[in-house]
């Protein structure tokens, strides 16, 4: 007799995999575009220019964490649980107006204080014009993200991906014109981003005003803020965990090393940015919509096993061929950046495990636990960077990230298991870890310039993902995954709009 829970879970995972594949298209296009810009931009931009862009991202991400109040995440949860269309419109309207007001106030303050902020972040007030562009990007991005969050909450993956791809094309065009055509350097990169963001904000505001006109509900705003407030602290801690090393690198090693590390980080972070980010776009809206407790527990348990393994399988070829890939996509003065790629990629396998392991906190509304966990990891990361960067230089930044994310994943699993049973099968951890040890050894013990190095690394890059697929999964799991992918590629319908 068929197991109804198993059948329901299979349908749930098929729907989840369908939306993930759709979002994956947009994420993949974005990452590929970023890599294909490197051969165009690295001959024109210095390491210091890329260091300035890294610091500009540091300022932008910090401001977004402070301003956004994570209301877009709260919008997803409250929209999914709203009982009728009118209430859904109230959720959207309240969130849109609150975020817009906060973004305008913060953007104006950032613009006015550009010079002192530039002295603190960049070490010179001469970069104040970059801070002013960041202020424009901040204000516009907050508005656009509300519109994209609405599409995610409605599970309209095609519409969300289409908008993202259109924005990507416009941004690429603007950056190429300003950097290649007008030789504006780092300023041109940010100016292109700011121009497209401002245009997108106007379109998003018009769409939200016309399509989702509702009441501004003060009581609802209070609920949104109560739900979001712990995530603001968590977001700030995540910012410190992921981005504080850029500012510390600039302080201890200078803009040049910061730019070099930033290039390597882009490669190491690529699989996480494409695959995991696409998965998370639908993960929380989907989990929030599940009412069956047994089904939800089963979906979380499967994801905790399969997602880190998937990230590992896709990362290993990138890691093993990182010297050649970095040399292919960058100019000669950035080729040394390959040495950061393996460790950064390894670190973000732990981040994938954390993202799934923290899900029970959000399901049960206990988001207060998340900031404490991320704060622990951030303190570990910052402390190790301050301790190790002066002695070991820029290479220490990647290893401190890996250690901090490993601490985060382990402690989150331990704590969240008290809410939702998430038993670990150690046999599914040992083999991926062995693959990582082999890959890291091949990268750092072998000289990339040695004639025998490349064939061995290529062989490992071909074997490792296939071995993971067959060793990690049993026959039934392999069959279900293949069936889900085939079904997702065939399925099309208006509900997936």
Q: What does pTM read for this prediction? A: 0.82
In which residue are the tokens 């988001």 written?
Answer: 367
405 & 455 share domain: yes
Q: For 123-166, what is each residue's pLDDT tens digit? A: 889 999 999 999 999 999 999 999 998 998 888 888 989 999 99
pLDDT at residue 388 is higher than 60 = yes
Q: Smallest Cα–Cα separation from 343: which of 319, 360, 307?
A: 319
Q: Which domain holds residue 71?
A: 42-216
Is 438 exposed, middle or buried, given 0-12, 13-18 or 19+ CB atoms closer than 10 A?
Answer: middle
Does 437 reside within a domain?
Answer: yes
End-to-end CA distance of the chain: 35
Q: What is the mean pLDDT of the chain?
A: 87
d(CA 391, CA 264): 20
Domain closes at, from 186, 216, 246: 216
Question: Quick one: pLDDT at residue 468?
Answer: 86
Does 28 reside within a domain?
Answer: no
Mean pLDDT of 256-262: 96
CB 281 within 8 A of CB 23: yes
Structure tokens given for 33: 């575009």
pLDDT at residue 489 is higher than 60 = no
Domain closes at, from 216, 251, 280: 216
d(CA 137, CA 114): 14
Which is more confident, 486 or 396? 396
Contacts with 85 (C-beta within 8 Å, 6 or more apart), sequence order? none
Question: Quick one: pLDDT at residue 484?
Answer: 60
What percent of the chain clears pLDDT 70, i.e. is strictly above it?
91
172 & 282 share domain: no
Q: For 279-303, what is each residue's pLDDT tens digit? A: 887 787 778 877 788 888 888 887 8
378 & 248 share domain: yes
Does 25 reside within a domain?
Answer: no
CB 225 within 8 A of CB 65: no
Question: Quick one: pLDDT at residue 3?
Answer: 45
168 & 114 share domain: yes
d(CA 142, CA 483): 38
Mean pLDDT of 248-273: 94
408 & 307 share domain: yes
Which sign does the torsion angle of CA 119, 180, 189, 27 carry? negative
Structural domain count of the chain: 2
413 & 376 share domain: yes
Does 24 reside within a domain?
Answer: no
Does 30 reside within a domain?
Answer: no
Does 341 reside within a domain?
Answer: yes
152 & 252 share domain: no
Does 424 reside within a domain?
Answer: yes
Q: For 419-451, what is each residue's pLDDT tens digit? A: 887 767 776 778 888 899 999 999 998 888 787
247 & 165 share domain: no
């Amino acid at each position: 007799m068929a197991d109804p829970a198993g059948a329901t879970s299979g349908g749930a995972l098929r729907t989840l995999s369908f939306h993930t594949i759709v979002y994956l298209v947009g994420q993949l296009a974005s990452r590929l575009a970023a890599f294909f810009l490197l051969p165009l931009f690295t001959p024109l931009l210095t390491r210091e220019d890329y260091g300035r862009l890294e610091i500009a991202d540091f300022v932008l991400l910090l401001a977004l964490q402070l301003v956004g109040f994570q209301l877009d995440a709260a919008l997803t949860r409250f929209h999914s649980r709203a009982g009728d269309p009118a209430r859904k419109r109230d959720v959207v309207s309240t969130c849109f107006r609150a975020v817009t007001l906060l973004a305008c106030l913060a953007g104006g303050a950032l613009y006015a204080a550009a010079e002192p902020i530039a002295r603190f972040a960049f070490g010179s007030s001469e970069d104040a014009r970059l801070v002013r562009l960041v202020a424009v990007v901040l204000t516009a991005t907050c508005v656009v993200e509300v519109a994209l969050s609405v599409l995610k909450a409605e599970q309209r993956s095609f519409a969300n991906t289409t908008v993202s791809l259109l924005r990507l094309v416009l941004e690429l065009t603007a950056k190429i014109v300003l950097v290649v055509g007008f030789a504006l350097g780092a300023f041109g990169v940010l100016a292109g981003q700011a121009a497209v963001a401002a245009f997108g904000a106007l379109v998003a505001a018009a769409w939200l005003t016309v399509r989702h006109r509702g009441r501004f509900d003060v009581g609802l705003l209070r609920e949104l803020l109560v739900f979001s407030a712990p995530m603001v602290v968590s977001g700030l801690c995540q910012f410190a965990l992921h981005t504080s090393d850029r500012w510390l690198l600039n302080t201890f090693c200078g803009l040049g090393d910061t730019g070099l590390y930033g290039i390597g980080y882009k490669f190491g972070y690529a699989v996480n940015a494409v695959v995991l980010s696409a998965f998370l776009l639908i993960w929380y809206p989907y989990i929030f919509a599940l009412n069956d407790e047994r089904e939800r527990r089963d979906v979380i348990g499967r994801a905790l096993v399969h997602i880190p393994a998937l990230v590992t399988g896709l990362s290993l070829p990138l890691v093993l061929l990182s010297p050649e890939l970095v040399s292919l996509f960058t100019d000669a003065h950035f080729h040394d950046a390959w040495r950061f790629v393996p460790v950064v990629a390894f670190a973000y396998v732990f981040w994938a495990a954390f993202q799934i392991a923290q899900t029970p906190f959000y399901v049960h509304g206990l988001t207060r636990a998340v900031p404490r966990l991320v704060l622990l990891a951030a303190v570990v990361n910052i402390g190790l960077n301050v301790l190790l960067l002066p002695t070991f230089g820029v290479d220490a930044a990647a290893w401190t990230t890996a250690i901090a994310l490993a601490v985060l994943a382990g402690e989150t699993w331990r704590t969240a298991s008290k809410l939702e049973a998430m038993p670990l099968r150690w046999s599914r951890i040992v083999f991926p870890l062995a693959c990582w040890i082999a890959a890291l050894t091949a990268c750092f013990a072998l000289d990339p310039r040695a004639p025998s190095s490349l064939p061995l690394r290529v062989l490992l890059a071909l074997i490792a993902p296939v071995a993971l697929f067959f060793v990690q999964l049993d026959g039934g799991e392999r069959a279900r995954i293949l069936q889900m992918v085939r079904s997702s590629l065939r399925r099309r319908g208006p509900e997936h709009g």
